Amino acid sequence: MTKTLLSFGHGYSARALSRLLLPRGWRIIGTTRTHEKADSLRADGVAPLIWPGDALSEPLATATHLLISAGPDAAGDPVLNAARAQIADAAPHIDWVGYLSTTGVYGDHRGGWVDEDTPLTPSTRRGKLRVEAEAAWRALAAETGLPLHIFRLAGIYGPGRGPFAKVRAGTARRIVKPGQVFSRIHVEDIAQVLAASIARPNPGAVYNVCDDDPAPPEDVIAHAADMLGLPLPPAEDFETAEMTPMARSFYAESKRVRNDRIKDELGVDLIYPSYRDGLAALLRDDAA
């Protein structure tokens, strides 16, 4: 039987998973909002579904796996709001569901370590919405037996999402807030974690998805500049730096995220265990 992944909000991380699954004979259906993006998905070998818009009945009837990347808003989780009953009806033939959340659900720990059992105390609006969305998916799973897995992603980087362009353009900034530290994850490692979970489903499991090397954001920018042989971008004090409210909100929380579970339970060996490894790969790809 052909395995079919129905991917809601088929974006950056979902596309990376597709690149692993398609060569293995999977059928992948990805939702998108525009016909322009649908053409891009089709070129990647993904069957596009304009949604909201197109009917979900056939895709859900044939799907064996679901991936939810669409983020919540003030109205709640958009997938559940639009298709909760249909997903509930499909639950008996779904083998795996992955919900992509964020490590922002843990809130601020002043640089301390968190793991999957740390209480959820988000301080940002985005983090609070994610906690509510996770709870809504858990409730559906409890009611229907839907095999839900939650993946809490750290800051995502990868091709097209690295610091090199800004460093080269001279627009990169080293925003310094003493004690600030973030965890990160390369998109290819997100894909391999999801694929490993699909191979070893454990309904109800929660996984932190991050690398081994949480670091201050200014260190990452400095390392990128050093790799390029360019001057170190100037340091700016967080308190006085001009930043958008969205950018400033990312500095509201500081923590180091443990990733033991993806290694111990899923057998994952990170491709890029540090941002240094990931940036080196991005630079090699740029030069290729």
pLDDT at 286 over 80: no
What pLDDT score does 287 carry? Answer: 59
Condensed to tens digits (0 to 9), the pLDDT of residues 186-238 reads 999 999 999 999 999 999 999 999 999 999 999 999 999 999 999 999 899 99
Main-chain dihedrals φ then ψ at residue 138, nearest 5 degrees: -65, -40
| Mean local confidence (pLDDT), 134-144 | 98
- The Cα-based distances of 227 to 115, 163, 164 in angstroms read 32, 11, 9
Domains and CATH numbers, the chain: 4-157+185-211+256-272 (3.40.50.720)
Distance from the first to the final alpha carbon of the chain: 39
Cα–Cα distance for residue pair 167/278, rounded to 1 Å: 16
Structural tokens at position 249: 């909100």
Say if strands 47-50 and 4-8 run parallel, antiparallel, or are unpaired: unpaired
| Mean local confidence (pLDDT), 138-144 | 98
Whole-number average pLDDT of the chain: 94
Cβ atoms 60, 82 nearer than 8 A: no
pTM of the model: 0.96
What pLDDT score does 107 carry? Answer: 95
> What Rg value do the Cα atoms of the chain yield, rounded?
19
